[in-house]
């Protein structure tokens, strides 16, 4: 399974060479760490997933000495690895640009959002295809833009307030509960994805 994770990282090498400098530039122009972190994690994780959806790739993967459980598990572990790479780049970039240490709660919030996203995105993508998820995300984004510009003009400010309230919680017990809930959801999502992928015919 370790070789499957290495394969994903190797295939994303060129993408990372583009995304990581772009991430540095985004932080250089003082974009929100949370927004940038979530966006870049989302991009690299789904790009990695989409590469394995080609029929030829699926046939090749299933002809190798790996179980379908191992193939799915590698994707879930790979999502953690890519998230770690993005978060590490954010921490290093923040030190270089602003001479400050990135707040731990910001990093945990980004990781939490990505865990939630992957927990829903992977089973959906294994059941259908990630391209349908991307279409759905595109439609939701257009609806969001319309909503912000026509109906709820202060929606962005409201969302920022919600995020700030979450980040302002000063309770280790609350954070521990949130991390535990996210991990349980991740494990349930992994089990569901294994079940869905095991029944697919290539």
C-alpha 27: how far from chain center: 18
Helices and strands: H and E segment counts in the chain: 9, 0
35-49, 98-112, 133-147, 181-195: least confidently modelled range: 133-147
pTM here is 0.84
> Cβ of 167: how many Cβ atoms within 10 Å?
14
Residue 170 predicted with pLDDT over 70: no
Q: What pLDDT is stored for residue 73 in this prediction? A: 93
Over residues 171-176, mean pLDDT: 70
Residue 30 predicted with pLDDT over 70: no
Residue 17 predicted with pLDDT over 70: yes
Q: What pLDDT is stored for residue 171 in this prediction? A: 64
Residue 152 predicted with pLDDT over 90: no
Task: Supply the mean pLDDT for the chain.
Answer: 83
Q: What pLDDT is stored for residue 118 in this prediction? A: 94
d(CA 53, CA 59): 10
Contact yes or no for 112/46 (Cβ under 8 A): no
- Domain range summary for the chain, segments of one domain joined by +: 2-129+172-198
Over residues 83-103, mean pLDDT: 90
Residue 141 or residue 128, greater confidence: 128
pLDDT band at 92 (very low <50, low <70, confident <90, very high): very high
Contact yes or no for 46/121 (Cβ under 8 A): yes
Give, rounded to a whole angstrom, the gap between the first and last alpha carbons of the chain: 20
> Cβ of 64: how many Cβ atoms within 10 Å?
10
Q: What pLDDT is stored for residue 63 in this prediction? A: 72
Q: What pLDDT is stored for residue 87 in this prediction? A: 94
45-49, 52-56, 103-107, 115-119: least confidently modelled range: 52-56
Q: Based on C-alpha coordinates, what's the Rg of the chain?
A: 18
d(CA 185, CA 162): 22
Query: Tokens for 141?
Result: 């984004």
pLDDT band at 178 (very low <50, low <70, confident <90, very high): confident
pLDDT band at 172 (very low <50, low <70, confident <90, very high): low
Residue 140 predicted with pLDDT over 80: no
């Amino acid at each position: 399974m370790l070789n499957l994770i290495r394969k994903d990282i190797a295939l994303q090498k060129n993408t990372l060479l583009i995304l990581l400098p772009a991430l540095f530039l985004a932080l250089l122009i003082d974009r929100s760490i949370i927004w940038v972190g979530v966006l870049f994690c989302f991009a690299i994780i789904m790009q990695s997933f989409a590469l394995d959806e080609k029929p030829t790739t699926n046939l090749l993967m299933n002809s190798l000495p790996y179980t379908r459980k191992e193939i799915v598990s590698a994707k879930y572990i790979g999502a953690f690895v890519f998230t770690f790479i993005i978060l590490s780049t954010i921490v290093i970039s923040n030190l270089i640009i602003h001479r400050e240490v990135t707040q731990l709660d910001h990093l945990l919030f980004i990781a939490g959002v990505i865990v939630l996203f992957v927990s829903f995105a992977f089973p959906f993508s294994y059941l259908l295809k990630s391209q349908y998820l991307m279409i759905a995300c595109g439609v939701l984004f257009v609806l969001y833009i319309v909503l912000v510009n026509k109906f709820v003009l202060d929606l962005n400010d409201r969302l920022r307030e919600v995020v700030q309230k979450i980040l302002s919680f000063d309770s280790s017990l609350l954070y521990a509960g949130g991390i535990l809930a996210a991990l349980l959801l991740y494990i349930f999502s992994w089990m569901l994805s294994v079940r869905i992928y095991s029944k697919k015919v290539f």
